[in-house]
Copies of this chain bind each other. A is one copy, B any other.
Amino acid sequence: MLIECIPNVSEGRRSEVVAAIADAIRAVPGVRLLDVSSDPSHNRSVFTLVGDAAGVEAAVLALFERALATIDLRTHSGEHPRLGAVDVVPFVPIEGVTMADCVALAKRVGAAVAERFRLPVYLYEEAATNPARRNLEDIRRGEFEGLAAKMAAPEWAPDFGPGAPHPTAGATVIGARMPLIAYNINLATNRLEVAKKIAAAIRHSSGGFRFVKAAGFMLEDRGIAQVSMNLTNYEKTPIFRVFEAVKREAARHGVQVLESEIVGLIPAAALHAAAEYYLQIEGFRADQVLENKLRTST
């Protein structure tokens, strides 16, 4: 069983604090810390770790322990919006584990964190207890500075923990979601308005695909326009369908797709689904992938 967890912590400047948190995670058996990225201007660090449910739970509790001891949001500043010292903790199903398992884990960890640290916890995305709490942006609106006033309203009572902010750590958002795919399509044009029109056509917020966030940009150094996207559920809104829609919309403006790019990581299943789609492969099973077969046999 493999669960990915990507805690976002409100500290990106004091490297010794970030290193101490990383050490606390590494000390937990059954967990691997894959990546730590700190952004000083955001004053925020993103930890990527994987393990089984018990390992990931223990690592997250260790992270909270260390972060809450050293981060004080009353003196924190940075470009990135934040609600808590540990701002957001998503659990992502990777292998041999369902979304329901990750939702259950988010609730278990949320309850534990609330009790142990007297910290308000909101559940988001797939773990949300009501639709107004699915989107992280809605929960985080007002940030740490506006949190006490926000929590005074009954509809913002937390899912776990006290009804008022933790004095130094604010509140935390914990949940479960699918892996994100950061996907860009570069157009063979320098017309930014074409990229913007395509982004508007395909993104959920303006009537497009349910699990696409998109915006149009200029790549100034190359003189080409880009449709930049986040695919938030590649099973329900697959990458090939988005690519074909962008190609079709571009053609509407007499523009061709120059290339696309995957930024960061992509689950193998998303690539396999594209191969199956274009090659019209019927009846394909994941255990037909040689490497999967090698891994599952013992």
Contacts and interface: CB of A to CB of B under 8 A. Distances in A.
Interface of A: 2, 4, 32, 34, 50, 94-95, 179, 239-240, 243, 257-262, 264-268, 271-272, 274-275, 277-284, 288-294, 297-298
Nearest first, the 3 closest Cβ-Cβ pairs linking A and B are: A274-B275, A278-B278, A271-B275
Contact of A282 (B260, B266, B279, B280): B260
Given A243-B279, A278-B278, A281-B259, A271 B294 contact: no
A267 B282 contact: no
A122 to B, nearest CB: 27
A264 B289 contact: no
Contacts of A179: 290
B32 A279 contact: no
Nearest to A296: B34
A264 B293 CA distance: 10
Given A32-B294, A271-B289, 18 more contacts: A2-B294, A34-B293, A239-B279, A243-B280, A257-B280, A258-B280, A259-B280, A260-B280, A262-B281, A262-B288, A265-B288, A267-B291, A268-B272, A268-B289, A268-B292, A274-B275, A274-B279, A278-B278
Contacts of A240: 278-279
A288 B259 contact: no
Contacts of A282: 259-261
How many copies make up the complex?
A: 2
A94 B290 contact: yes
B279 A94 contact: no
Contacts of A257: 280
A215 B268 CA distance: 32
In this complex, the member of A260, A264, A278, A279 whose beta carbon has the largest number of chain B beta carbons within 10 angstroms is A279
A265 B248 CA distance: 34
In this complex, the member of A2, A258, A289 whose beta carbon has the largest number of chain B beta carbons within 10 angstroms is A289
In this complex, the member of A32, A95, A271, A275 whose beta carbon has the largest number of chain B beta carbons within 10 angstroms is A275
Contacts of A266: 288-290
A284 B179 CA distance: 18
